[in-house]
Amino acid sequence: ETGVTQSPTHLIKTRGQQVTLRCSSQSGHNTVSWYQQALGQGPQFIFQYYREEENGRGNFPPRFSGLQFPNYSSELNVNALELDDSALYLCASSPADITDTQYFGPGTRLTVL
């Protein structure tokens, strides 16, 4: 069974640029959640996708957007990057059941200069 994978591992961008981060969910999981983890803080919920539809969003501006594909992999897009967007971005997948465990990928470290 393949776990959750994310790409790229590290990324450096400059302010104002756009970035796309990718996540492959665990086999059999149709729900993907994205989190932002700033240095020294806990993960913050960005949004969740369930069967290709957004299924809840945290307190993040519209320049954070996402997609989920028919194979349940997902993308996180961030436009007009700001310095404060520098963080570890985590993806987690889970079955749709309300109580189910979510499985995290290793994350993408984004640095905005």
- Our measurement of the distance from residue 32's CA atom to the centroid of its chain's CA atoms, rounded to an integer in Å, reads 8
40 binds other proteins (CB under 8 A): yes
80 binds other proteins (CB under 8 A): no
- Our measurement of the distance from residue 84's CA atom to the centroid of its chain's CA atoms, rounded to an integer in Å, reads 16
Q: Phi/psi at 88 (nearest 5 deg)?
A: -95, 125
**Taking the complex as a whole, how short is the minimal distance between the CB of residue 38 and other proteins, in angstroms?**
10
**Taking the complex as a whole, how short is the minimal distance between the CB of residue 104 and other proteins, in angstroms?**
4
Between 16 and 68, name the residue whose CB sits nearer to other proteins.
68
**Taking the complex as a whole, how short is the minimal distance between the CB of residue 7 and other proteins, in angstroms?**
13
With H, G, I as helix, E, B as strand and everything else as coil, classify residue 72: coil
Q: Please choose, out of 13-21, 30-38, 62-70, 71-79, the segment that lies near other proteins by the rule CB under 8 A.
A: 30-38
- Our measurement of the distance from residue 29's CA atom to the centroid of its chain's CA atoms, rounded to an integer in Å, reads 15
Q: Phi/psi at 9 (nearest 5 deg)?
A: -75, -45
Contact call for residues 48 and 31 (beta carbons, < 8 A) = yes
Q: Which residues would be at the binding site for other proteins (CB under 8 A)?
A: 4, 31-33, 35, 40-45, 48, 56, 58, 90, 92, 94, 96-107
